Chains A and B, each alone.
Chain A
Amino acid sequence: MFFSSNKKVDNRIDGFSHLGEGASFEGEIHCKGEIEIAGKVKGNISAKTLRILEGGKVTGSVNAEKVEILGCMLGNTTSLNIHVGEKGVVRGDLRFETNLSVVEGADILGHVQKAKKDKNKKVDTDKVKYLEHSQKAS
């Protein structure tokens, strides 16, 4: 883990953002790509992919396309795909559109709901897929 994130420092074009263990942040986060949180965040997060690592703690609401909760999440989560890991702790609602996976041992207290697909979001994901495809092609 440690080494892989160090690599990301070097080639920061196709890496992902990382908030380290010693970090505590209060405020908003908007991320167009992937972000990993190992520290403490208070506030709302919108991202394409959000990963709350073990030891990470997020207080606030999350809006993303893919959320992995391996740490602690206090607040509501809205996402296309949600994954809660073995040591994941969730206090709040989980609202997902496509997939929800929960590993044995996860601790969830809140409302879990499969939401109807939002047309706007669907367009967005199609766009993203198209962009990814064109990137690969070029």
Chain B
Amino acid sequence: MPSVILNDTILKGTLSQKDSITLDGTFIGNITAEEIIVKDHGTINGNLNASVNIEVNGNVVGDLNSDKIHLTSFAKVRGKLSHKNLSVDEGAQLEITAQTRKRISNLNKE
């Protein structure tokens, strides 16, 4: 079952999740999951590693690593991106270095 972390919750530590995680709260630390969705109120300080998809509509400071990365219009991202497929919506505030990989997803390879 997917995890949901709401606005009123602060997590500090390392999270690994087999399926999808939706974050609307504050997270300090690294996340590994199949799919990571950061909502408007979500604030992440740490690296995100997803095997399938990362969608950001909140604040992220840290590295993002996924096959597909989607930064929507309210995203504020600072860090390195490693992806196969990147899309950025109008209005996203970014301070990033992005790198496209050709290989199939492997979290340790870039």
Interface of A is mostly: mixed
A27 CA / B21 CA spacing, docked (Å)? 17
Task: Say yes or no for B3: interface residue by CB 8 A criterion.
Answer: yes
Q: Is there an interface contact between A33 and B6, defined as CB atoms closer than 8 Å?
A: yes
Residues of B within 8 A of A5 (CB): 1, 4
Given A18-B3, A20-B2, A22-B19, do A30 and B13 touch, yes or no (CB 8 Å)? no
Residues of B within 8 A of A25 (CB): 11, 13-16
Task: Say yes or no for B73: interface residue by CB 8 A criterion.
Answer: no
Q: Is there an interface contact between B1 and A24, defined as CB atoms closer than 8 Å?
A: no
Count A interface residues, CB 8 Å. 29
Q: Is there an interface contact between A43 and B13, defined as CB atoms closer than 8 Å?
A: yes
A interface residue numbers (CB < 8 A to B): 2, 5, 8-9, 12-13, 15-33, 35, 38-39, 43
Closest A-B pairs by Cβ, 4 of them: A27-B13, A22-B18, A32-B8, A20-B1
Q: List 30 A-B pairs, Cβ < 8 Å.
A: A8-B4, A9-B2, A9-B22, A12-B4, A12-B7, A12-B39, A15-B4, A17-B6, A17-B8, A17-B25, A18-B4, A19-B5, A20-B2, A20-B3, A20-B17, A20-B21, A22-B19, A23-B18, A23-B21, A25-B16, A27-B11, A27-B29, A28-B12, A29-B11, A30-B9, A30-B10, A30-B12, A31-B10, A32-B9, A43-B13
